[in-house]
Structure 1
Amino acid sequence: MNYLIVLKCLQHYRCTCFRILFGGNHLYVFNNPNKSGARKDITYEEAQKEIAKGAGIGISSEGGKSKADLILEEELVSMMPLVYRANAMAVELKRNVKFELVLVSPEMRGLQEGLTEVGLKKFHLSFVHNLSEDTRFMWEKARFMNRYYGMQEMYENKQDGEEWNMPKERDPFYEAPDSKSFLGSAIVFLQPLAYLMDSEETYPIVDFTGEELGELSVQLSPCNSSGKELIGDYVNDPKEIIGQNYGFMIKIQSARGLPRRIDKVIYEIKCNGIEWL
């Protein structure tokens, strides 16, 4: 098939070369012969970095980049074409879903600041949004890659005229609405426990983009070694209880203001690398 490509630009801009991307892996550079200016040859990787920056998911170029930033940038550049292709295949196969690359900070994954060095400064996942049902899921990169190869096989079977449609349980685009998915996190401050004081506070639930989704009401109570709550045994200085055996009880009172699409919430609690459900 033949296509006519029309490129428009404002007169006061010096348009000397355009990046033209078809799908996820056909990238061209158009040099306008009627415009003067230095012609610069670019590589596919450089163009992908430009696209990532234009999409707002590039790494900041201010100052020197750490090794972790460079690794993350390389991963973003390599993943972007796959996401483009997955979205294109979804349209072709009439699967009403959309994939987006996102970055998730270590804090959103319950990690402490001092533990997030090389490779863990930021963590990106594939975000799936079902347009008709308004259901959203977070996929780790490995999960997305496993599904991607299934999407590709499905698409190629259709192109070859073979049987390609699958039941929902085998469809790589499908995710059951009741599947577990990361919603957000709330940071709970434990300082009152250091003084053997109980507390009941409300904390914002924040998703991976920093948007507040709701609020979490949490009650903290200090306990003795047998699990009995301590009432009125306050201390003026936390150093007074160093070396003594104490525990604490966490009570999730409520989660309010969550989106209507959320049917059931499972709480995962992390403290100093220890995890409870």
Structure 2
Amino acid sequence: MFGLTNVRILPRHASFINSDNKVIVKPFGKAKVIVNGVAIVMNAKLQHLDRLILGSNSGYLYIGFPAERGAEDISKFDYDFFQSELAAAEGFSVDKLGASHNKNGKPDPSVLAVFHDYIKLMPLVAEANQMSDEFKKNLKFELKVKNLALTDSRGYDLQKEIMVKVINKITYEVWIWSKSKFINRKFLMEELYQRFLDGETSQNIDRESDPFWDPVEIIHLGSAHIWLQSLAYCMKLEEQTELLSCEGVEEAILVINVTPCSSSGRPFGEEDIVIDPLELLGRKIIFQIHILQCLGVRWLKEATHRGIQIG
């Protein structure tokens, strides 16, 4: 019998049963046990070189009985291997980042840097969620990649970076923390948690000292791009386009009209259409943008008391 200490490693977390040259791992209750990147809720038979994670980030490599062992190189099973496997099980990989490859067939270094940031923050986010549960803060922390599927107006990929989305599970308020802000807050959470383990109550902490608290802030939901080629001919543009979040998720559908007009605001008609866009060189072009409808706003579906601003 032995004990382990870590955030959310419970006094009775899991049992390991050795019987007939078979080892079975059995989680107790809702204890978090992950085998080869996948969380288990029932008994699981361990195979040689299986990877286990107990709690938030305590990783172990299972070495089987002598008869099962070979000449394997176990040096590859390092911390990054465990976290990469866990990320892959959650559907996150270098390829998902849209990795462009160089002449050697290797992913772009900037994309690899984002991927490694992601897998290094995974256990920290898991611990933050567990401490939030301990303190009954009702906050959920989620790792996100900013600009995962967005491009600029010329169609070039925007620089990707890691961020942490913070959601209040009761009020549905949302905050976006940068990587550096999250890491700083995580250190403060650990200090608070250690004081909690030492017997100090967390009820007397004021807002300014609470690492889980932030004032309500404005969140950028997404952007919509439309092609303006028809304006080069002084033609009215009628477009229905997606409003995409920085992760490439559809947040809403916009119905937009863009109408060329005179300096007095008179909309151009068919008689104002030009055949050759070169005729407009050196001339001032004025147009009106009308957002006719904003449909299926996911932000409002999740919580109807929220508001949005389009601009």
TM-score for both structures, normalised by structure 1 = 0.78
Counterpart position of 1:21: 53
Displacement of 1:83 after TM fit? 0.9
8 Å Cα contact 2:149/2:246 also seen in 1: no
CA change 1:184–1:38 in 2 (3 A) is farther
What's the CA shift for 1:38? 4.2
Secondary structure of the residue that 1:113 maps to in structure 2?
A: coil
Match of 1:5 in 2: 15
Taking the TM superposition and a 5 Å limit, the aligned residue runs for 1:47-126 are 47-60=82-95, 63-105=105-147, 108=150, 110=152, 112-114=154-156, 116=158, 120=159, 122-126=160-164
Percentage of matched positions with identical amino acids: 29
Alignment of 1:97-246 (within 5 A): 97-105=139-147, 108=150, 110=152, 112-114=154-156, 116=158, 120=159, 122-165=160-203, 166-168=205-207, 170-176=209-215, 178-223=216-261, 226=263, 228-232=265-269, 233-246=272-285
Give the total of aligned pairs.
259
RMSD: 3.0
Structure 2: distance between partners of 1:32 and 1:84: 29
* Distance of aligned partners of 1:223 and 1:231 in 2 relative to their CA distance in 1, 3 Å threshold: closer
Q: C-alpha separation between the residues in 1 aligned to 2:288 and 2:182?
A: 37
Alignment of structure 1 residues 236-275 onto 2, 5 Å: 236-258=275-297, 259-260=300-301, 261=303, 263-268=306-311
Q: Map Cα deviations across residues 14-71 of structure 1 (whole Å, 9 max, x no partner).
A: 8212222234443221212263444423222232222222222221299421112221
* Structure 2 unpaired stretches of 5+: 4-10, 17-24, 26-42
Output the amino acid matched with 2:134: E
Larger Rg, first or second structure (1 or 2): 2
Given that residues 106 and 113 in structure 1 are in contact (C-alpha distance below 8 angstroms), is that contact kept between their aligned partners in structure 2?
no
Residue 28 of structure 2: aligned partner: none
Q: Which has the higher contact order (CA 8 A, sep 6+)?
A: 1
2:88 and 2:132 map into 1 onto residues whose CA distance is 24
Moved more, 81-90 or 97-106: 97-106
Give 3-state SS (helix, strand or coil) of 2:162's partner: strand
